[in-house]
C-alpha cells in the first residue's frame, strides 16, 4: 500500500429478517449517524467522497445514488455507486484515498430484502438470456450443482458441509446482530428440507434487512480522529466468467485471484501463519469450505475435515465466521461483505463480546456477490 488507510468509524442498523418499522433510508441514516459520531466527524464538512454499494434491480429504482445524499449527509459531495459485492465498494474507497486527492471517504451498503417480492426472478435475470434463463428454474439450482461438483472433486462429504451451517448458526447465538442463530447439529442441517440437491434449507442463508456504514481516512487524519484505527493492509478483487457453460464448477477461481491480490498488496507470505481469523462468505454452507481452500487458508480438499474436527470454531486454531456469517446473521444482499468487514473491525477492537477472539490482531474478510455471479473481493485488516 503506497499510502496508509484506516477504518476510523463504523455504524450499523437493522440486521433483522424483516424491518416493517424502518425504511431503507432510515436504516441508512441510523447507521451513518452512528459511524459519524464514532469517528467524530461532520459529513457535510469533513467527508470528501461517498461510496454506496447497491444494485438498481434490488432497489427498484434506477441510478440509485440519487437517493443516497440526504440520509448520508452527502449533499454537494461526490457520490459513487458500485454495483458489486460490498467489499468492492470498500476497495473503491481505499483507491480514492490512495490517489492522494481524498482524506476521508464513507462507504455505505444496505439491504431491504424484505421489500423484494420477486428476488428469485431478479437473480434469474442475471442468467444468460439465450441458454440459461429460458430454463425457468430457481437460481439456487446453480448452487446445488456447484456443491455437488465441489464434493466430487474435493472429496468433501455432505456431513462436513453441514458442519459449517451448524457451527455458524451456533456462533450466531453469541451475536446480538444475528437473527438466524440456532442450537443445531450437522444432523439437523442434513435433515432439513431439500432446496436443490444436495443443498438443504439450513445450508442456505436467509435474508436480512440492515445497513453498514464505514468511515475511512488517510494515515495522519486517521490518527487524529481516533486512538484505535483499524488499518487496511491490503485489498483484492476478481471476477471469473459469467457463463455457466464455461466456469470451473469445483473451485472458486475468483477467490483464488482475489487472494493473490490481497496477499500481494498486504505483503502476506504465509496466510495461515500471519492471519489470526477470517470472516468468509457462507451464503451456502459449502461455500465457506470452497472459499477457505481458494484463499489458501488450508490445502485443497482439506477444509471439510478441518471444520468437522473443530479447527474453525471460535476456540479453534483458526476461527472462521465467529459472527455467525451470513448463515447466522442473514444475507444482506450486496452489503453482505461489509457485514464480514464489520465483524473483523469489532474483533480487532476487542468489542465482539462473548465471541471475542483473544489473539485477534490481523483478520481477513472475503465476500462473494452470490448466485449466479463469479465475483469476489477480500480485505486484510489489522489493529
CA distance to 127, 283, 324, 325, 334, per residue, from 206 (Å) = 21, 9, 12, 11, 14
Residue 249, pLDDT score: 94
Q: What is the chain's pLDDT, residue by residue, as a tens digit (383 residues)?
A: 678 999 999 999 999 999 999 999 999 999 999 999 999 999 999 999 999 999 999 998 888 888 899 999 999 999 999 999 999 999 999 999 999 999 999 999 999 999 999 999 999 999 999 999 999 999 999 999 999 999 999 999 999 999 999 999 999 999 999 999 999 999 999 999 999 999 999 999 999 999 999 999 999 999 999 999 999 999 999 999 989 999 999 999 999 999 999 999 999 999 999 999 999 999 999 999 999 999 999 999 999 999 999 999 999 999 999 999 999 999 999 999 999 999 999 999 999 999 999 989 999 999 999 999 999 999 999 99
Identify the architecture of domain 5-117+207-225 in CATH.
3-Layer(aba) Sandwich (3.40)
Cβ atoms of 108 and 196 within 8 Å: the answer is no
Residue 61, pLDDT score: 87
Residue 6, pLDDT score: 98
Angle at 280 between CA 34 and CA 310, to 5 degrees: 115
Domain ranges of the chain: 5-117+207-225
Rounded to two decimals, the pTM is 0.97
d(CA 383, CA 110): 25
Among candidate residues 257, 281, 254, the one with its CA nearest the CA of residue 364: 281
Residue 254, pLDDT score: 97
Amino acid at each position: 500500500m503506497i499510502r496508509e488507510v484506516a477504518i476510523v468509524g463504523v455504524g450499523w442498523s437493522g440486521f433483522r429478517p424483516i424491518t416493517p418499522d424502518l425504511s431503507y433510508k432510515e436504516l441508512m441514516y441510523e447507521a451513518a449517524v452512528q459511524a459519524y459520531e464514532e469517528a467524530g466527524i461532520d459529513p457535510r464538512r469533513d467527508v470528501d467522497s461517498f461510496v454506496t454499494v447497491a444494485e438498481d434491480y434490488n432497489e427498484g429504482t434506477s441510478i440509485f445514488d440519487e437517493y443516497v445524499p440526504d440520509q448520508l449527509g452527502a449533499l454537494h459531495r461526490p457520490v459513487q455507486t458500485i454495483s458489486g459485492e460490498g467489499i468492492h465498494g470498500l476497495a473503491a474507497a481505499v483507491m480514492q484515498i490512495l490517489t492522494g486527492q481524498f482524506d476521508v471517504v464513507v462507504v455505505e451498503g444496505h439491504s431491504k430484502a424484505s421489500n423484494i417480492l420477486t428476488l428469485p426472478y431478479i437473480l434469474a435475470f442475471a442468467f444468460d438470456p439465450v441458454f440459461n434463463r429460458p430454463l425457468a428454474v430457481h437460481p439456487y439450482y446453480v448452487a446445488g450443482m456447484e456443491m455437488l461438483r465441489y464434493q466430487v472433486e474435493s472429496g468433501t462429504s455432505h456431513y462436513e458441509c453441514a458442519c459449517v451451517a451448524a457451527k455458524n448458526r451456533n456462533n450466531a447465538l453469541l451475536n446480538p446482530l444475528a437473527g438466524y442463530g440456532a442450537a443445531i447439529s450437522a444432523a439437523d442441517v442434513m435433515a432439513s428440507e431439500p432446496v436443490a440437491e444436495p443443498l438443504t434449507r439450513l445450508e442456505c442463508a436467509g435474508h436480512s434487512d440492515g445497513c453498514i456504514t464505514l468511515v475511512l481516512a488517510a494515515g495522519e487524519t486517521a490518527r487524529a480522529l481516533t486512538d484505535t484505527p483499524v488499518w487496511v493492509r491490503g485489498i483484492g478483487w476478481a471476477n471469473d466468467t459469467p457463463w455457466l457453460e464455461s466456469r470451473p464448477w469445483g473451485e472458486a477461481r475468483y477467490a483464488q485471484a482475489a487472494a493473490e491480490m490481497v496477499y500481494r498488496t498486504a505483503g502476506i507470505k504465509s496466510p495461515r501463519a500471519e492471519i489470526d481469523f477470517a470472516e468468509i462468505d457462507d451464503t451456502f454452507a459449502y461455500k465457506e469450505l470452497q472459499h477457505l481452500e481458494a484463499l489458501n487458508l488450508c490445502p485443497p480438499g482439506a477444509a471439510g475435515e478441518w471444520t468437522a474436527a473443530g479447527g474453525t470454531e471460535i476456540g479453534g486454531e483458526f476461527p472462521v465466521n465467529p459472527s455467525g456469517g451470513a448463515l447466522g446473521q442473514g444475507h444482506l444482499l450486496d452489503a453482505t461483505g461489509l457485514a464480514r468487514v464489520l465483524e473483523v473491525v469489532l474483533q480487532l477492537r476487542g468489542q465482539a463480546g462473548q465471541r471475542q477472539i483473544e489473539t485477534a490482531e490481523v483478520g481477513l474478510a472475503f465476500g462473494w456477490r452470490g448466485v449466479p455471479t463469479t465475483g469476489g473481493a477480500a480485505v486484510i485488516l489489522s489493529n
